[in-house]
Chains A and B, each alone.
Chain A
Amino acid sequence: MSDRKPISTGTGPISTNGGPISTSARPISTRTGPISTRGRGKLELDPATVRTARSLARRVGRPIVTLAKQHTTVSVERATLRLAGLQGADADGIPWVNRLLDAVRGDVGLEHGVAAPVWDALVRGEADTLSTLAQKAAVGSIRFRLPEGRELTRARSAAKKHVGAGIRRVDARRRERDRLVKRYGDPDHKPWVYLIVATGDIYEDMPQAQQAAREGADVIAVIRSTGQSLLDYVPEGPTREGFAGTYATQENFRLMRAALDESSAELGRYVRLTNYASGLCMPEIASLAGLQRLDMMLNDSMYGILFRDINPIRTFVDQRFSRQVHARAGIIINTGEDNYLTTADAVEAAHTVTTSQLLNEYFGKEAGLEDWQLGLGHAFEIDPNLPDSFRMELAHAMLARDLFPRAPLKWMPPTRHMTGDVFRGYLLDGFFNLAGALTGQSILLVGMMTEAVVTPWLSDRDLALQNVRYVMNAAGNLHEDFRPAPDGFIASRARQVLAESIDLLERILAHESRTGLLEAIADGTFGLMKRPADAGRGLEGVARKAPGYYNPASEILEAT
C-alpha cells in the first residue's frame, strides 16, 4: 500500500475503554505544520507564507469560536436530548425532542440549557422516562424549574449519566466501524469513488445504492430532499416521499447503513455512507449520524449562512457542536467549497476556496477533528473555453493538496459548464479525473455526462465509472513523474491564489469589530451574499448562555 494514502485506515488513537480521545496523542502535531514533515510539496510553497495563511485563519476564526462558546441553540439542546435517547414523534409528526424543548423553553428559557430542568423533573419523579416526560410536557401537565443547590447537583449528575450513555453508544459505533474496516478492508485504490443516490424513497435508494457499490462505488451519498435544511426539526421514521432527494431521518440512516453492511460483506470492502449535517438541525443530524454509524457527513462552516440564509451565529454554534460530535464519532467531514465556484467565477474566486479551506481546517481542528477527518472540498469548475483552463485547474487542485497534505480532499466534478452536450461533458469529466489523479485527490465525486440533463441513468453511471477506471488505470501513478516547473505557469498560479487568499484573510481582519468574519459575511465578502449577524433563519433559536448554563454533551465533548 502506498505511503501517500491520505486516509488513515486506522482510526486514530481511540482508547479501548471508549473513553475520550486524548488530544495529546494526536499522531501529528499541527503546530509544527505538516509541510515540514513532508518537504515542501510539489509546488515548493514558501513555508513562511503557509504559516502566515494558517495563523491568519486562526486569528479570523478564534473570536468566532469564543462567540460560539457563549451561545446555545435549540438544535444543540435537542441534540443533547437525542443523545440521551429521546426518539419518536407525536401524532402530527412533531418530534418529541421538539415538544419537550419547547415546553422547557416556555417555562424557564433556553439560556440555562435543557439538561438541568429536564433531569430535575425526572429526579423529582414527574415521569419515569424521557419519553413519558416529553408526552406529559406536551400536554402541559409539567412545570419545569431551575433547580438549585443539591437538587441542581443531582439533576446534573443524572443528565450526565444519560447523555454519557448516548455518547458511549457513539463510541461503540466507531469501534464497530473499525472492526468492519479491518474485516472487509478499505478500497485498494485512491481516490475513493463517491457516487450519489437520490430517489426520494428510502426503499428505492437501498437497492440502487447496493447496485452502485457493486459497480465500484466506495462511498455512497444519499442526497437530502430539497428544503430539509430549512426545517427546524428532523423528520421521523422511514420516508418514501422527497423532493429531488430523500429525507435524512434516524430510521433512513439505519436502513441504508444496514444495506451497505450487506454490500460490504458481499464485495469484501467496507462501503462508506454519507449524508448531510447542514441546515437548521445539523447538531441533531450529526448526533444521529454518530448513533447510526454514518462514515462521512457534509459539514461546512459557512455554507448555511451564505447559501441558505441561516443566521450566522446559529450556524457557527451548531457547526461547532456538530463537528465535536463528528470528531468523537470518527466521521470524515466534507466541506462545501465547491459551492462558491457554482455561483462565482472559478478563476476570480479561486482564493475564496483556499480561504474557506483554511477556515474550515481551523474550525474543524478546534472542534477536535484530526487531519484524516478533514475532507476539504474543491471543484473543477473553470470555463473550459478559457485558455490554459486545465493548467489552472491543476494549479488550484495541487495548491489544496500541498496546503493540506494529510487531509482526504474531496474533488468535485464540473457542473457549471456541463451543457447537455453529453459527448463534450464526457471529455470534460475525463480531464477532471486526470486532474484528480495528477494531484493526489482522496475522494472523487464521479462526474456524470448527463449533469444538468437528467438524474443519472444506469448507463450514465456505468460510463462515468469506466471513465474513472480508464484514467486511473492509464495515469493513476502519473503524479510520480509530474512535478510542475518551479517558476512555471502552475506553480506561479498557485502562489498567486495563496497570496490572494492571504490578502482576503487580512481584509477580514481589518474589519473594525473583533468578529471581523461576521462583518465580512454581512458585507458580502464571500460569494455574493450579504448576511448580517442579526438576521437570517433560525435566529429565534439562539440564546446567549446564562451563568450556570449546563450541557452534559458539550462537557463530555469539550474534554474529548
Chain B
Amino acid sequence: MTIMRPYGDTTGDGMVQLSFTLPISSQAAGAKLAEGAAAQLANKMGMDPALVVHAKPMGPDFTFFVVYGRVHHLVDTSQVRVVEREFPLLTPKEVNLAIRKALRRRLVVVGGCIGTDAHTVGIDAILNIKGFAGEKGLEYYRELRVVNLGAQVSVPQLVARAREEQADAILVSQVVTQRDAHLHNTKEMSAAFRESFPAERRPLMVVGGPRFDESMTEELGVDRIFVRGTTPGEVASYLVDELVTKRRQVSTSGAQAS
C-alpha cells in the first residue's frame, strides 16, 4: 500500500496538528478576529475542518496558535524522491570505530586558510572542538589527528606541512572571494599538491566556503567541495567514506582480481 493519510486515532482520519504565530493582537476585542485569522490560514493550508484549540497573546502585537484539523491530501510513497548524500552520515563513535578498525592508526587532517584570507571562521567551525551547529569539531574525534594551521598559510607551507605530518587529508577554507581569490587559491593549491605528490600518495583535498559551487570539483582539481552550512560530522563522514570505506573496497577487489 503506497497511499496513506495522516493518522490521528483512526486509520484514514487525516488529522494533523500545527502551531504558528501571527502578527495580530488577540487582546480584548481582537480575540475573535485573531482566531478567525488562524482558522483561515489553516483552511488555506488544506485543513478542513480546522479547530483552533489554543490562542495565546504574546505581547500586544503577536498571537500564538495551536490548531488541530483534518487534511484531505494523500501521500503516495511510490512518488517520494529522496536526494541521497553520496556518503552515509556517521556519528563520532562510528567514525572513530571505522578508522580504528581499518587504519589501525589515527587519520591525519591538516587544515588552514590559504592566501591572504584571515577568516578562520569556517575552518575553525569544522576543526575546533567547539564545533558548529551543535556538533563537535574534528578535534573531538579521538581517531582524527588535527593540525590546524590557522590563517594566511601559503601553499608551499601547506604542502610542506602535509608531507611532514603525513596528512591523509587537507582541509582548506576560503571566505574571501574578491576577484575570485578563492578559486585562484584553490587551483594553485591543487596544482601544487598534484606536482609534489605521486597520485597514490597525494592527500585528499577538500575545500569549503560560502561561495563555492559543489559541482566545481573537477575544474578546481580538488576531491570535494563543501558549501555553507556544512557541519563537522558531514566532513568527518566524508573523510571516512573516501579514505576508509572506498579504499578498502578498492584493495579487496584488487585482491580478488589477483
Contacts and interface: CB of A to CB of B under 8 A. Distances in A.
Given A243-B121, A459-B21, A528-B140, A307 B59 contact: no
Given A309-B128, A537-B150, A343 B136 contact: yes
B148 A309 contact: yes
Given A307-B130, A527-B129, A459 B120 contact: no
B119 interface: yes
Contact of A211 (B59, B134, B139): B59
Contacts of A537: 150
Given A226-B121, A452-B134, A528 B21 contact: no
B127 to A, nearest CB: 9
Q: For chain B, what secondary structure do more than half of its interface residues adopt (helix, strand, loop), or is it mixed? A: mixed
B132 interface: yes
Given A227-B121, A230-B120, A243-B121, A458 B129 contact: no
Contacts of A307: 128-130
B181 to A, nearest CB: 17
Interface string A444-468: 0000000110000111001100000
B121 A308 contact: no
Contacts of A451: 134
A343 B136 CA distance: 7
Nearest to B139: A529
Nearest to B151: A230
A439 interface: no
B91 to A, nearest CB: 13
Interface in B39-94: 56, 58-59, 62, 64
Interface string A185-229: 000000000000000000000000001001100000000011100
B124 interface: yes
A459 B63 CA distance: 9
Contacts of B140: 343, 528
Interface residues of A, number: 27
Contacts, number: 56
Contacts of B119: 227
B132 A226 contact: yes
A306 interface: yes
B177 interface: no
Contacts of A308: 128, 130
Contacts of B139: 309, 529
A306 B62 contact: no
A338 B83 CA distance: 37
A215 B56 CA distance: 14
Given A452-B134, A459-B21, A537-B150, A343 B129 contact: yes
Given A226-B121, A527-B129, A537-B150, A462 B142 contact: no
Contacts of A462: 56, 58, 64
A307 B128 CA distance: 7
Nearest to B118: A231
A11 to B, nearest CB: 32
Contacts of B129: 306-307, 343, 527-529
Interface string B100-134: 00000000000000000001110011001110111
Nearest to B56: A462
Contacts of A225: 121
Contacts of B134: 415, 451-452
Nearest to B21: A459
Contact of A458 (B21, B120, B136): B21
B157 interface: no
B100 to A, nearest CB: 16
Nearest to B125: A226
Nearest to A344: B140
- Give 5 closest A-B pairs by Cβ, nearest first: A227-B121, A452-B134, A462-B58, A459-B64, A307-B130
10 contacts: A211-B59, A226-B132, A230-B150, A307-B129, A307-B130, A309-B148, A343-B136, A458-B58, A459-B64, A463-B64
Given A226-B132, A227-B119, 16 more contacts: A225-B121, A226-B124, A227-B125, A243-B121, A307-B128, A307-B129, A309-B128, A342-B136, A343-B140, A415-B134, A452-B133, A452-B134, A458-B58, A459-B19, A462-B64, A528-B140
